[in-house]
Chain A
Amino acid sequence: MTKEEANGATEEEQQAQSKKALKKQQKEAEKAAKKAEKQAKLAAEQQSAEEDDFAKDRYGVSAMVQSQQKLDRALVRVEDLTPQKVDQLIWLRARVHTSRAKGKQCFLVLRQQQFNVQALVAVGDRASKQMVKFAANITKESIVDVEAMVRKVEQKIESCSQQDVELHIERIFVISQAEPRLPLQLEDAVRPDGDGEEEGRATVNQDTRLDNRVIDLRTTTSQAIFRLQSGVCQLFRDTLTKKGFVEIQTPKIISAASEGGANVFTVSYFKSSAYLAQSPQLYKQMCICADFDKVFCVGPVFRAEDSNTHRHLTEFVGLDIEMAFNYHYHEVIDSITDTMVQIFKGLRDNFQTEIQTVNKQFPSEPFKFLEPTLRLEYTEALAMLRDAGVEMGDEDDLSTPNEKLLGRLVKEKYDTDFYVLDKYPLSVRPFYTMPDPNNPKYSNSYDMFMRGEEILSGAQRVHDPQLLTERALHHQIDLEKIKSYIDSFRYGAPPHGGGGIGLERVCMLYLGLHNVRQTSMFPRDPKRLTP
């Protein structure tokens, strides 16, 4: 059928076409023949080469690991390759970070997480020429199993984390092959900002990194950041548990927005709609009313603010604390600041390697703090700002630039990157904030700052249902919607306070990074929903 249809064209045309086609065909056939010849030659060469390759059992692409066998083989970790292991024959699984062939030798840098080591395949009685060639052709980022002899080196290898030893490879098998073209080069991704411009070398921009997050997360910097982040979480838990806190889990799908409906995500919930929680605020308070005394929770928090800034995400991890106190809400401040100080100390003492690694790419001054934490009052902050020439009303909220300026002033005078600002004006805080008994303009609320940026907002809460109703009415909140919340205080509620911290912000500011997306593994913002 198709041929006949093609015949429908005029004869001349057809002739011309067929002539052209013929020529083309001929050429192609010639090409194919040549190619086949070449391939045959190559195959023959290869075969002959393979035939006299004495080391052909010592390298290759292994069969997919489908758990066929359980080898009794101990794999050494790269970080454990120290001079103590010199002259031992070891097995190792790592990624090929880079490979560089040079005549009869091939240098590989093998990487495992944030550690790397230099390895060498050299033609000799263990490795053949073909094996060296094979090693040189392994694509970057492939995962290999290597058997090698650990050897001491005379000169330190500056480019690797294991500087005192190198590996002399005796066997090398590819466990998982990476595609030859990588969407971004790891070396480009860890290059400090300034360096790239000076040497005319490439750096990778934020969006490319995030689009290829799996590869970006392999960089030493990312590895260090997220190890440190895990440390923050653990120190937070450990410290609070030691203080007698109970960890709670709260629902994230809620029926009413806790602080105004403007910045919540609405989700369809069967026949009605629900919201994604902006904070576990109401639930942790209800736990206090339920006699849990001191609670904390670690979990996702959602903000539907359409702000594309360096420090806002639409979903982040909230570290929330709520506790009952005896007589003064400063008991709560002391508890939270002490927790933060323990975290900072823990990071300073146990995560120095990670901090240094991040500093190599993103240099910043070490994080400084005071113990006990410095506490200033809002009026003092106003006086400092006014002294610096800022015009501000008594009851104005701190704008972001003023917040940063204040951070700098405090750093200059007290040399601390972490401080508490107490006694905020009542008008700038949510309805459940307890007013100051001495001055109704102010409130028993506080913010905490790291490197001049807010990381925690907290307060003593109103635990009296009547005052709470009054405050809610003053803020023009529909009482029906928060009925269950107010009701929980009717049957005896202890005085309490608390606050919530953003995990990503704490990590960002502790390390002196400039974008919260760097400390969020898979960031969500108004413009990013993948990966």
Chain B
Amino acid sequence: FKATKNLDALLGKDLGALRDIVINANPAQPPLTLLVLHSLLCQHYRVLSTVHVHSSVSSVPPQLLSCLGPKHADSYARHMFQLGFTLIWKDVPKLEMKFSIRNMCPIEGEANVARFLFKLLAPYPSDAAVATLVDTWVDIAFYQLADGSAKERAAVLQALGSALGHAPWLCGPEFSLADIACYCCLSQNGSTSATAANVQRWIKSCENLGHFGPAKLLLK
């Protein structure tokens, strides 16, 4: 990635306190893409990661409580971090993100939150067509791979196969959010085996990057 390290430019002026990103997720649908993006954020920023359980949920499996990895050694001093990543397991119909409550409405949907988090890591491609292509793949991943029928999934797999015939990654020579979303939604359904050779090779390449460890821990 060409990392964007200037959070002030991205998130507005510094108020001298932790910028805390709050994500409300339903434990019935752990947001795999966001966990992957979280570990990427940790490589670029000093991130204070915390997991809470909201009172609307009575019990949460232990692997969800530790899904953001072990506690940071400095986590007692919140002011030492650049970014807060607060994951709350809550009884919500749709995943939502709350960040700057004065200026932003809550962002709904894992795909949209993923787009927001990814922009903290790397800018979208400057070419409008490629940028739109990335967005399209993200939509396809969440609407058709994760939620779609068997028929729709098969169609997406075919499309993946043909796209990966032209380039190593879904949107060209560079790894992008499209790859993260498609990989996560694909493995969520456990349908990584019976696919074309192209897709198999792409899955291998994704796994070689080592970004998907946190998501894989939750896949059973």
Contact = CB atoms under 8 A, between A and B. Distances in A.
B17 A368 contact: no
B79 interface: yes
Interface stretch (B48-56, B122-130, B161-169): B48-56
Given A370-B88, A414-B88, A330 B76 contact: yes
Given A370-B54, A372-B52, A382 B90 contact: no
A371 interface: yes
Interface string A35-74: 0000000000000000000000000000000000000000
Interface in A379-401: 379-380, 382-384, 386-388
B5 interface: no
A376 B52 CA distance: 14
Nearest to B50: A372
A345 B76 CA distance: 25
Given A348-B55, A370-B53, A380 B18 contact: yes
Interface string B127-164: 00000000000000000000000000000000000000
A413 B17 contact: no
A175 interface: no
Given A367-B55, A372-B52, A379-B79, A414 B86 contact: yes
Given A368-B55, A368-B56, A380-B78, A388 B16 contact: no
A369 B76 CA distance: 20
Nearest to A328: B76
Interface residues of A, number: 32
Nearest to A384: B17
A515 to B, nearest CB: 25
A383 B17 contact: yes
B107 to A, nearest CB: 13
A211 to B, nearest CB: 38
B15 interface: yes
A415 interface: yes
A344 interface: yes
B90 to A, nearest CB: 7
B54 A388 contact: no
A409 interface: yes
Q: Which of A370, A379, A409 gathers most chain B CB within 10 Å?
A: A370
Contacts of B188: none
A111 B77 CA distance: 56
A377 B75 CA distance: 12
A388 B101 CA distance: 9
Given A414-B86, A415-B90, A371 B15 contact: no
Q: Which of B16, B17, B77, B88 gathers most chain A CB within 10 Å?
A: B17
Contact of B17 (A371, A375, A377): A377
Nearest to A382: B17
Contacts of B53: 370-371
A370 B23 CA distance: 13
Nearest to A348: B55
A398 B36 CA distance: 39
B216 interface: no
A367 B102 CA distance: 24
Nearest to B14: A383
Contacts of A387: 15, 100, 102
A368 B101 contact: no
A412 interface: yes
A374 interface: yes
A144 to B, nearest CB: 43
Contacts of A345: 55
A416 B76 CA distance: 20
Interface string B17-61: 110101010000000000000000000000000101111100000
Interface in A299-313: none
Interface in A253-297: none
Contacts of A370: 52-55, 88
Contact of A369 (B55, B78, B101): B55
Contact of B16 (A368, A383, A416): A383
Interface string A460-500: 00000000000000000000000000000000000000000
A345 B90 CA distance: 15
A392 B88 CA distance: 30
Contacts of A366: 55
Contacts of B22: 413-414
29 contacts: A345-B55, A348-B55, A366-B55, A367-B55, A369-B54, A369-B55, A370-B52, A370-B54, A370-B88, A371-B52, A371-B53, A374-B52, A377-B17, A377-B79, A379-B16, A380-B18, A380-B79, A384-B17, A387-B15, A387-B100, A387-B102, A388-B102, A413-B22, A413-B98, A413-B101, A414-B22, A414-B88, A414-B98, A416-B54
Q: 3 smallest A-B Cβ distances: which pairs?
A: A383-B17, A383-B15, A370-B52
Interface of A: 328, 330, 344-345, 348, 366-372, 374-377, 379-380, 382-384, 386-388, 409, 412-416, 422, 438
Given A382-B17, A387-B100, 7 more contacts: A369-B55, A370-B88, A379-B16, A382-B16, A387-B102, A388-B102, A414-B98
